[in-house]
Amino acid sequence: MEPNDEDLKDRLLARLPRRENLAEYRREVSALMEKNEKKLRREKFAVAAFWIYAVAFFILALTVPEWWQGGKYEGTAKANSVAIWMGAFALFQAIAGAAEIVKHFINRARVELLKETKQLQLQVLRMELRGLPNEGTGQRLE
């Protein structure tokens, strides 16, 4: 390993809780997970609402310019420019909605990864408390 990897390893291991405060650490982890889940639910609702708005606006932007002008500017430059600008803005809204969905998926994956990491961390701490041997080396964790 390179020296930077050793420093990272030392910093990560220094953040592990000690045996004395395992119960406090569990409470902190459960509070963190609950907070992340609540935030994820709110974000899911906001993303769904924004996506519905974007799709509705896209549909309206493609249909409204035709009947809004009552056909009196049909085929003229004014009608074409309004339709082009409405279509461009609708496309922008659809792209923004898609970006929000991707952002939500990334955030959901981050929360799931954090949850799994914390569960693994708690399992290692429980093994440490019990003095069970490490499966990889056969040595007891201390």
Closest alpha carbon to 24 in 120, 132, 122: 122
Dump pLDDT digits (tens) for 103-125.
Answer: 999 999 999 998 888 888 888 77
pTM: 0.64
- Tell me the per-residue pLDDT of 44-70, one tens digit each, with 9 for 90 and over: 999 999 889 888 888 887 777 666 666
Helix, strand or coil, per DSSP, at residue 51: helix
Yes or no: say if 89 and 53 are a contact pair by the CB < 8 Å rule: no
| Cα atoms in the Cβ-side hemisphere of radius 13 Å centred on 29 | 18
Mention every residue, 6+ apart, whose C-beta is less than 8 A from residue 117.
none
Predicted confidence (pLDDT) at residue 71 exceeds the cutoff of 70: no
Least confident span in 91-95, 96-100, 128-132:
128-132
Enumerate residues 6+ apart whose C-beta is below 8 A from 139: 133
Element (H, E) at 74: none
Q: What is the pLDDT of residue 109?
A: 93
Helices and strands in the chain, H and E counts: 3, 0
The predicted-structure confidence for 15-40, as pLDDT tens digits, reads as follows 666 667 777 878 888 888 899 899 99
User: Coil, helix or strand for 136?
Assistant: coil
Supply the pLDDT for residue 82: 73
Q: What is the rounded distance in angstroms from the CA atom of residue 113 to the CA atom of residue 107?
A: 10
**Which helix (H) or strand (E) segment is 48 a member of?**
helix 22-68
pLDDT value of residue 44: 92
Mean pLDDT of 129-134: 65
Residue 73's pLDDT is 59
